[in-house]
Amino acid sequence: MTEVAEARAELGLIQRRKLGLTLANVLQTAAKLKKDGKLSDDEDVATGQIAAAMALKNPSAYAEAALDWAKILEWIQKVLPIILQLISIFGG
């Protein structure tokens, strides 16, 4: 779980909330993509797919020009192994 704590520290809580980047939302988004057969097995590709899907859910928050997409992608990539494990356990 230290990876999650590190990822949280790198992207501020307020910014993550504003963007809808919570573990629950990322899990829900990844599970839907997986169920629809749209989630890649390649974690780098899956990270981008999840980020794009999250941006589509809340376009006004993601339209902000000052967003650091590298930090967003890094955060998703750090929590992705946990998310994928939860999906495999609970059959999301």
Closest CA to 69 of 15, 5, 4, 32: 15
Domain extent, residue 47, equals 2-90
Q: Encode the chain (92 residues) as per-residue pLDDT tens digits.
A: 555 555 545 678 888 898 999 999 999 999 999 999 999 999 999 999 999 999 999 898 888 767 888 999 999 999 999 999 999 998 75
Domain count of the fold of the chain: 1
Does this model's pTM top 0.85? My answer is no
CA distance 71 to 73: 5
